[in-house]
Every structure is written in C-alpha cells, then in structure tokens.
Structure 1
Amino acid sequence: MSIKWLLFSFDGRIGRQTFWQWNICYYFFLLLVSGTITQMVPQWSAFVLPTFILVILVPDLAVTAKRWHDRNKSCVWLLLNVPLVLGRISFPMSQKMMDPVSMEPSLFSTVLSIVGIICGAWIFVECGFLKGKEEDNLFGSTPQSTTKNSTI
C-alpha cells in the first residue's frame, strides 16, 4: 500500500488497524498544531487551525472512505463528516465571536456540536470497531490486515 493511494485515493479498502493508525496521527498533529499555534501566536489561531484542518481534509476523507468500503458501504456515508468538519472549522472562530459578558455559544454552535457528536460517534463505532466484510466486495479485495493469516 502506498502513502499516495492511502491519502489521496477514494478507491479500495483498508482495515481497522490502518484506520486507527491514521486517526492517531491525525489527532496527534491536530493537537500539536493547535497547541503550538495557541501558545506562540494566539491571535492567528482562529485562522491557522481551520486552514490546517482544510489542508488535511482530503486525506482524512480518503482514509475514511476506504474504511466505509471495507464495511461494504459507499462514499455517501462520508456525509456524516460534514458536521464534524464544520464544527472543527468553526470552533476557533466561534471562540473569538462569543459574547464576552455571558461567554455562551450561539444556538447554531450548540446544535452543530450536538449533531457533530452524534455523527462522530457513529463514525467512531462503525469505522473504528466493527469488522469489515471478510470476502471481496464491490469496493475491492479484503485488506491484508483483516485476513486470517495466523495459524492460532
């Protein structure tokens, strides 16, 4: 498996192990960039963080699409990512736009957060924990990490 295929192709299948490896790296770098920017140049965080998220959006969607394919589902399920992406992009900006007196988020931010949590939980369980199809499906052959090569 090539990195180019993994991060930029929406074809094929991957197993849970590859999905988890990507997500651990994704969130590690997201936290690293977020923490660094917030500490070094906090006034830029509302611009830099959403930009960084948009830059790594295609690889994140490509990896998730392959995982949906392993579950024998089409890329239409990537629509569950829309509230997550909107929430991640709008969060730094919404922090800047909060009412300084009440410090309460807007109704839109609250609803987006709730929908994002529900969609994120669905993706988390379905892609992160449920097994893919053991046989070949419309989206490709069984990924190597999910085949039973063990003699145990």
Structure 2
Amino acid sequence: MTVKWLISSFEGRIPRQLFWSWNAVYYGVIICSLTFVSPFIPTLSAYVLPVVLLVLLVPDLAVTAKRWHDRNKSNKWLLLSIPLIISRLMMPGQMVGEGGIVAGPSTVVQLFSFFSLLCGLAIFIECGLRKGNPLRNQYGEPYVHDSSTEQEDSSV
C-alpha cells in the first residue's frame, strides 16, 4: 500500500484502523490550518476552511470508498457524504449575516444540518465501528499490513 493509492484510488479495501488514521490526519490538517491562519491573517480565516475541505475532498472520498468496500458495499454509499460536504462548505457562510453581523441559521439550514448529521452517523457506524468482511469479496482481498514490503520499499 502506498499513500498515493490510499488517497487517490477508489478501488480496494482498508480496515477500520486505516480509516481512523486517515480521519485523525484529516481533522488534524483542518485544525492546524485554522489554528495557524486565524491569528496571523484573520481576514483569510473564513476562506481557509472551504479551501482545505476542497483539497481534502478526493482523498477523503477515496479512503471512505475503500472502507465501504471492506464492508462489501459499493461506492454508491458515498452518496451519504454529499450532505456532509455541502454542510461543511456552507459553515463559514452561515456564521456571518447581513452587514457582518453574526446570524443564526435558518430553519432550512437547521433541517439540512440535521439530515447531514444523520448521514454522518450512518457513515460513522458503518465505516468506523463495524468490522469489514474477513474474506475475499467482490472488491478484493482484505487488507493485510505487510511490514516486509515496506522495508523493501524503503531500501530502494
């Protein structure tokens, strides 16, 4: 397994451990980017989150697709990610209302956010908590970490 395959390919399978490792990196990048930009360039802080989320979009979907495959489910289940993506991208715009005044979210936004939460919960349970198929399935063999391959690769 290579990092390129992990974050760019929509084929194959990964276990929960790799899924959680990716999520730690994903949220770490988001937190670090906001932490380091906001104090130094406050005017850009509203634009940082959407840009970082767009940069991480394909890698996040690729990792999640592999996790769905480990659960023996197709990439169609990635459709559950659409409300989450939209909600995350809308977040900075929701905070500032007319004239720069902080505004509360509308009822439609609140309902959409609730729907996004339900989709996120489904992804969390299926991809994050439930075990994958221990046998070969239509998406390939279960992922097995082979440290001997990494040692060979690192010596090249």
Residue 42 of structure 1: CA displacement? 2.3
C-alpha distance in structure 2 between counterparts of 1:6 and 1:43, whole Å: 34
Aligned partners of 1:16 and 1:67 also within 8 Å: yes
Residue 34 of structure 1: CA displacement? 1.8
Residue 46 of structure 1: CA displacement? 2.2
Residue 55 of structure 1: CA displacement? 0.7
Q: Match for 2:143: what amino acid?
A: P
Q: Are residues 1:78 and 2:85 paired?
A: no
Over 3 Å counting, the alpha-carbon distance change for 1:19 and 1:51 in structure 2 is same
Q: Are residues 1:51 and 2:51 paired?
A: yes
**TM-score, normalised by the number of residues in structure 1:** 0.88
SS of 2:95's equivalent in the other structure is: helix
Residue 142 of structure 1: CA displacement? 1.0
Q: Match for 2:118: what amino acid?
A: I
Of the structure 1 ranges 70-79 and 33-42, higher mean CA displacement relative to structure 2 is found in 33-42
Q: Residues 2-151 of structure 1: matches in 2 within 5 Å?
A: 2-97=2-97, 100=101, 103-144=103-144
Aligned partners of 2:95 and 2:104 also within 8 Å: no
Residue 23 of structure 1: CA displacement? 0.3
Residue 88 of structure 1: CA displacement? 0.8
Structure 1 stretches lacking a partner, 5+ long: 146-152
**Paired residues, what number?**
144
The sequence identity of aligned pairs, in percent, is 46
C-alpha distance in structure 2 between counterparts of 1:88 and 1:42, whole Å: 19
Give the RMSD, CA atoms, in angstroms. 1.6
Q: Match for 1:67: what amino acid?
A: R
Q: Match for 1:91: what amino acid?
A: M
Cα displacement string for residues 4-57 of structure 1 (whole angstroms, at most 9, x for unaligned residues): 100000000000010010001111111111222222222222222101100110
Over 3 Å counting, the alpha-carbon distance change for 1:109 and 1:37 in structure 2 is farther
Q: Match for 1:55: what amino acid?
A: V
Structure 2 stretches lacking a partner, 5+ long: 146-156
SS of 1:40's equivalent in the other structure is: coil
Aligned partners of 2:94 and 2:104 also within 8 Å: no
